[in-house]
Structure 1
Amino acid sequence: MTTLHLVEYAPPQPFRLPHAVGQALVASGIIDATPDPYLPGHWRLRAGSKVGAVALTVPGEGTVSLRITPKVPIARLFFLLGYALSPLGAPHDEGVDVAEETEVLPAFAHAFERQLARALAQGLVQGYRTTEESALVVRGRVREADQIRRRFGAALPLEIVYDEYTTDIAENRILRAAAERLLRLPGVAAPVRRRLAHHRARLSDASPLVRGHALPAWRPTRLNARYHGALRLAEALLRGASAEHDAGPLRIDGFLFDMNKVFEDFVCTALREALIPHGGRAELQAKGIHLDQDNAIRMRPDFVWYAEAAGARPRAVVDAKYKAEKRDGYPDADLYQMLAYCTALGLSDGHLVYAKGNEPHAAHRVRNAGITIHQHALDLDQPPAGLLAEVRGLAERMADRTV
């Protein structure tokens, strides 16, 4: 197996690779891959915002393991991810130690196994599941409309529906699927793999998820409270952050976190919590906003803070930018985008929030518009308490500007 190690947003690195492997990396769309013009047989590889681990099975060349490490410490990545998933009861505050890990996959597998062990320590949660089936005896109630439509008046079999108290519920199905996903990936430490296999066996009565279908819905309750941490990590693994598909003959299996999305989710969630004392309501990925009078050009700011009443006018708009990379020929695209948001929402102030190290804090007053665009920077290298304090300070400044 060929293993490639890259760092998020690092300069391109040359690797000696077969042409088929280089083409497979291009087809995956996970990283930037181009033939090296100066070194025959080499490819220049550059990782973007996606971090994690992926196994690519290339016909005729075997499996290529791609490991992409984030620039921020692993523990900080898990804090950002955990806070965005649940600010009041997330995995980041439940004692999962990943500080000694240097790669995303081993850290995630270790964290998930710890959460899963804690969730299953008192046995599997059971619940009622609604089942519809054909049977020769009545159980529950008869679905009369289906009986007439499917059986044309025949007495048997019966179309019935009933509620069954079982372990085959959405929560256990999601945990089983996440454990199976991690067991398929190379790079998971042997002790963690053994424990995951044990947990997977305990969840064997839960039905496997259908590949490509949406995850089953579950609702946080007092009865499944001990599952919450494991379920949130499992959903982060199985949802859009995951990579698992066939691209023609190319097979891709793994999971990736998009640091742009992780940072955006954290900023929006933390701002929403910080603005609670100031009243109003926050909307993440705000909908129903258009630039033009005919509502033809839709806009979706990351975060809009409204007054309390329904239908009230906006008080502030925020866009989170993990990497403030200036593109050639269009260096201030973020400012133009925020200007459009402020114009459409009728606001005199807009806020751009960056990860520190790319853009300094600044305020730009737009000519002939009466609009000021603020650029803020969050230092991701500091401890979580300091990072949340910075967000609260930003919320205070936003609230003061709207008074």
Structure 2
Amino acid sequence: MTPVVEVVEHAPAVSFPLPDAVGRALAAGDVLDAAPDPYAAGRWSLRAGSKVGAVSVAGPGLDEAFTVRITPKTPVARLFFLLGYSLDPGSAWRDGEVEVAEHRDLLPALAHVVERQVDRALRQGPLQGYRVTEEAALVVRGRIREAEQIRRRFGATLPVEVTYDEFTTDIAENRILRAAVERLLRLPGLPRDLRRRLLHQRGRLADVTAPVRGRPIPAWRPTRLNARYHPALRLAGVVLDNASAEHSHGGLVIDGFLFDMNKLFEDFVTVALREALRGSGRTSRLQDTHHLDEAAAVRMRPDFVLYGADGAPAAVADAKYKVERKGGFPEADLYQMLAYCTALGLRKGHLVYARGSASHAAHQVRHAGILIHQHALDLGQQPAGLLADIATIARHMVPDLRV
């Protein structure tokens, strides 16, 4: 049986018996904080940060692979609500907690949701489209590539270098789905039935070019023709973007899947604020670039900036995946928001945290005329409650807003 090490995100460090090679590989792999336990030989102290998921460590010198599983504090069903809403606020599957109700662990839940969406996308058969093909052929098809014919064939008439549009299933959309399925099949700890269903989906995409490690995933753009693929493609993008890069250390290979809860929370808050403020006559921009100084040497990127009808900044917000400690939230966040407000010429700024002792607090900055709001969201509540809290924050930003 594969040894499994389980830790919880942002929990105190825990000591585990690990081979030194595995401990060193984890320490170098940007998975979690790992260091030799100073009080016990052969044990390593492991502490998870904001990344959740699982990785496996395997290679020469190990009798079997080690799996490290990092469990999120946020309920898995709620995590998928945050993910789904940030991907597509109007999509029906975003609030489908039934989709993951049978899975308490993150990776099986993710694989289950992706497999269901791929199955729905392929229900009418794989999407077909035109792909530009360039090849050497014995018959003329499409257009002759004259420059290539001269460069490669030196005046020979056959074969002919041609280019043509081929109607095929081997298009970007299907390649992305296959790449995501292949990636999920490599994850540790998937139930047998779920693995079998993923293999079935891979079989339905058998005529599609298999992904090659190290090569970029093809780009796609949403259109009316690929509308039934949109949920599956967005989830496939999450799988491929968050898959930890396979890398080696000391002969061992680390491979797996890691969510960054910092980014997930930031994406949800900014997208939810944008939706809450839609129709207000103002424009929202996420991760918009500004500068602190007149020389534009110090760059700033607030998570969320709201612009008025005149194009001037009207409100600013930053999302922080942090829980209030005994002494309160970090003061550095207040200094950062003060810099944002000063550079943008705003009298108010908003910090949004994952949880706090109170839903709202405010600090009036001395001699500056700037008021900094601190909002706290309880990620354990139902989706409707989360969106209601976001609407409250939006009203703080725009007092006359009707949401």
Pairwise TM-score range, normalised by the shorter structure: over 0.9
What is the alpha-carbon distance in structure 2 between the residues aligned to residue 90 and residue 262 of structure 1?
19
Question: How do 1:2-401 residues align onto structure 2 when only pairs under 5 Å count?
Answer: 2-61=3-62, 62-89=64-91, 91-93=93-95, 97-147=99-149, 150=152, 155-239=157-241, 241-248=242-249, 249-287=251-289, 289-308=290-309, 312-324=311-323, 331-357=330-356, 361-400=360-399
Q: Tell me how far 1:378 sits from its aligned partner.
A: 1.0
What is the alpha-carbon distance in structure 1 between the residues aligned to residue 352 and residue 283 of structure 2?
19
SS in 2 for 1:382: coil
SS in 2 for 1:278: coil
* 2:81–2:97 Cα contact (<8 Å) kept: no
Q: Tell me how far 1:145 sits from its aligned partner.
A: 4.5
What is the alpha-carbon distance in structure 2 between the residues aligned to residue 28 and residue 177 of structure 1?
23
What is the alpha-carbon distance in structure 1 between the residues aligned to residue 127 and residue 98 of structure 2?
22
* 1:50–1:259 Cα contact (<8 Å) kept: yes
Q: Tell me how far 1:110 sits from its aligned partner.
A: 1.3
Give the AA of the match of 2:175.
Answer: R
Q: Tell me how far 1:197 sits from its aligned partner.
A: 0.6
* 1:285–1:303 Cα contact (<8 Å) kept: yes
Q: Which deviates further from its counterpart, 147-156 or 211-220?
A: 147-156
What is the alpha-carbon distance in structure 2 between the residues aligned to residue 279 and residue 155 of structure 1?
64
Structure 1 residues 338 and 324, CA gap change in structure 2 (3 angstroms): farther
- TM-score, with structure 2 as normaliser: 0.92
Q: Tell me how far 1:160 sits from its aligned partner.
A: 2.4
What is the alpha-carbon distance in structure 1 between the residues aligned to residue 189 and residue 338 of structure 2?
45
Q: Where do 5+ consecutive residues of structure 1 fail to align?
A: none
Q: Write the deviation string for residues 220-240 of structure 1: whole angstroms up to 9, x where unpaired.
A: 22332222222111110001x
Q: Tell me how far 1:399 sits from its aligned partner.
A: 1.0
* 1:323–1:358 Cα contact (<8 Å) kept: no
* 2:324–2:356 Cα contact (<8 Å) kept: no
SS in 2 for 1:276: coil
What is the alpha-carbon distance in structure 2 between the residues aligned to residue 327 and residue 215 of structure 1?
45
SS in 2 for 1:197: helix
SS in 1 for 2:279: helix
SS in 2 for 1:286: coil
Q: Which deviates further from its counterpart, 156-165 or 269-278?
A: 156-165
SS in 1 for 2:270: helix
SS in 1 for 2:379: coil
What is the alpha-carbon distance in structure 2 between the residues aligned to residue 369 and residue 238 of structure 1?
45
SS in 2 for 1:388: helix
Q: Tell me how far 1:279 sits from its aligned partner.
A: 1.7
* 1:53–1:65 Cα contact (<8 Å) kept: yes
What is the RMSD of the two structures over their aligned residues, measured on CA atoms?
2.3
SS in 1 for 2:52: strand
Q: Tell me how far 1:327 sits from its aligned partner.
A: 12
Give the AA of the match of 2:346.
Answer: L
Q: Write the deviation string for residues 140-198 of structure 1: whole angstroms up to 9, x where unpaired.
A: 22334544555566544433221111100111111111111111222111111111111
What is the alpha-carbon distance in structure 2 between the residues aligned to residue 251 and residue 203 of structure 1?
28
Give the AA of the match of 1:55.
Answer: S
* 2:59–2:252 Cα contact (<8 Å) kept: yes
- TM-score, with structure 1 as normaliser: 0.92
SS in 2 for 1:254: strand
Quick one: percent identity of the two aligned structures? 62
What is the alpha-carbon distance in structure 1 between the residues aligned to residue 271 and residue 309 of structure 2?
18
What is the alpha-carbon distance in structure 1 between the residues aligned to residue 254 and residue 126 of structure 2?
32
* 2:266–2:319 Cα contact (<8 Å) kept: yes
Give the AA of the match of 1:301.
Answer: P
* 1:20–1:58 Cα contact (<8 Å) kept: no
